[in-house]
């Protein structure tokens, strides 16, 4: 009998205030530094600088559409 290996995922769940919807909500850790608001669905980045704060995650390529990626201009 063969063993099946499954990737185990243990999300980090914290309570916090979402800066986008201004609601006290659960924030689910997608990765070590990125969380998702369970109320509005915004992806937040965790910043630790004297206190823990959650700010909206920014994308480096905001001007590139996923359908235009790789096309020559």
Residue 70 is assigned to a structural domain of this protein: no
Q: Which of 44, 58, 49 is nearest to 14 (CA)?
A: 44
> How many domains is the chain built from?
1
Residue 17 is assigned to a structural domain of this protein: yes
| Distance from C-alpha of 13 to C-alpha of 15, rounded to nearest angstrom | 7
Judge if pTM exceeds 0.85.
no
Q: Which domain holds residue 35?
A: 12-56
Residue 35 is assigned to a structural domain of this protein: yes
**What is the predicted pLDDT for the residue at 66?**
45
Residue 71 is assigned to a structural domain of this protein: no
> Given a cut of 60, is residue 70 above it in pLDDT?
no
Q: pLDDT, tens digit, for every residue of 20-67?
A: 999 999 999 878 888 999 999 888 888 887 777 888 877 544 454 444
Q: For every residue of 44-61, which 3-state class applies, written as one string? A: EEEEECCCEEEEECCCCC
**What is the predicted pLDDT for the residue at 64?**
46
């Amino acid at each position: 009998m063969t063993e099946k290996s499954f990737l185990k995922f243990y999300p980090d769940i914290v309570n916090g205030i979402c800066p986008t919807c201004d609601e006290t909500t659960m924030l689910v850790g997608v990765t070590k530094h990125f969380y998702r608001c369970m109320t509005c669905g915004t992806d937040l980045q965790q910043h630790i600088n004297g206190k823990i704060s959650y700010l909206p995650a920014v994308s480096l390529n905001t001007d590139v559409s996923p359908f235009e990626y790789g096309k020559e201009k």
